[in-house]
Amino acid sequence: MRRFESYGVLITGAGRGIGEATARRLAAEGAHVLVTDLDEDRAEKAAAGIRESGGVAEALACDVADSTSVDAAVAYAVQRFGSLDTLVNNAYSCHPDAPLFEDESDEIWQRDLDITLTGAYRCARAALPHLAAAPDGRGAIVSIGSVNGEQDFGNHAYSAAKAGLAGLTRTLAGHAAPRGVRVNLVAPGTVRTDAWAGRDDALARAAEYYPLGRVGHPDDIAAAVAFLASRDASWITGVTLPVDGGILTGRTGLRRALRGE
């Protein structure tokens, strides 16, 4: 199925992980994908892999903390593909918490919010006029949130940014709907990406707490993004879709403890 034939798509933070998997998935379904990343070499490597598989992809360095860089990326996508039909906000920043909350720094807090939340705001602001001009109701924004924005899984600044991104999704959906643009968010649980490199033991322990018995893979999230970006979801906007192996259904560890396991 090629649900994105000739779509112009821009994905942030797409040099690896969830962003790269999403770029591959949408390109495989016919999209022309602009792979953006802070690391231009990483973006080009991901785009080259798509082209080797027969897809259409280009690469561009983009810093979502810089409005000029964001505006340039959106303009480049429109110029190269003729339109911009889908924006995927995937870029994020996540720093570990200080041992005590009072030791958290303004710099870490601001960095996580500026990349994760305000970066998505900058991208949506630049892209929205083009998405509204997309034909046949194709215009869509899909942001990558997190279960951290829904419950406590640690990381104060990152979690606050992801919760804010869910809020922005709802308010922007209401604004953009009359303009023919849908806005949704995917909230992943723990996903095996490079961020977990060298921590296989931690992932194995985490898997025990997921009702479906495993942590996620980037392709799990890419599939959900593809659905929400496609016209299969033409009557869906303003939602947060958990793709989390069931972790938000409840605290399975507590249930086991109460059973004496």
Average pLDDT of span 144-153: 95
Q: Is residue 119 part of a domain?
A: yes
- Per-residue model confidence as pLDDT tens digits over 196-250: 988 999 999 999 999 999 999 999 999 999 999 999 999 999 999 999 999 999 7
- The residue segments making up the domain with residue 45 are 8-199+217-249
- The rounded mean pLDDT for the chain is 94
SS3 string, the chain, reads CCCCCCCEEEECCCCCHHHHHHHHHHHHCCCEEEEEECCHHHHHHHHHHHHHCCCEEEEEECCCCCHHHHHHHHHHHHHHHCCCCEEEECCCCCCCCCCCHHHCCHHHHHHHHHHHHHHHHHHHHHHHHHHHCCHHHCCEEEEECCHHHCCCCCCHHHHHHHHHHHHHHHHHHHHHHHHCCEEEEEEECCECCHHHCCCHHHHHHHHCCCCCCCCECHHHHHHHHHHHHCHHHCCCCCCEEEECCCHHHCCHHHHHHHCCC
Structure tokens at 230: 């496609």
Share of the chain above pLDDT 70, in %: 95
- What does the pLDDT read at residue 147? 96
Over residues 30-41, mean pLDDT: 98
Task: Please report which confidence band the pLDDT of residue 261 belongs to, taking 50, 70 and 90 as the band edges.
Answer: low
Tell me which of 91-95, 131-135, 252-256 is least confident. Answer: 252-256
How would residue 258 be classed by pLDDT, with cut points 50, 70 and 90? very low
In-domain check, residue 259: no
Q: Which residues are catalytic?
A: 158
Q: Is there a domain that residue 118 lies in?
A: yes
pTM assigned to the model: 0.94
Count: domains in the chain: 1
Give the span between the Cα atoms of 75 and 98, in whole angstroms.
Answer: 39
Residues counted in the chain:
261
Cβ neighbors of 36 (< 8 A, separation 6 or more) are 10, 11, 12, 13, 14, 43, 59, 60, 61, 62, 73
64-113: pLDDT as tens digits: 999 999 999 999 999 999 999 999 999 999 999 999 999 999 999 999 99
124, part of any domain: yes
Residue 257 lies in a domain: no
pLDDT of residue 136: 84
Residue 95 has which token pair?
Answer: 């720093």
pLDDT of residue 257: 55
Residue 2 in any domain: the answer is no
pLDDT at residue 23 in the model: 98
29 in any annotated domain: yes
Residue 137 pLDDT: 84
Domain of residue 139, CATH code: 3.40.50.720
Residue 127 reports pLDDT greater than 80: yes
pLDDT digit string, tens, across residues 231-245: 999 999 999 999 999
168 in any annotated domain: yes
Residue 174 has pLDDT above 80, yes or no: yes
Phi and psi at residue 231, in whole multiples of 5°? -75, -5
Res. 259 pLDDT band, cuts 50 70 90: low
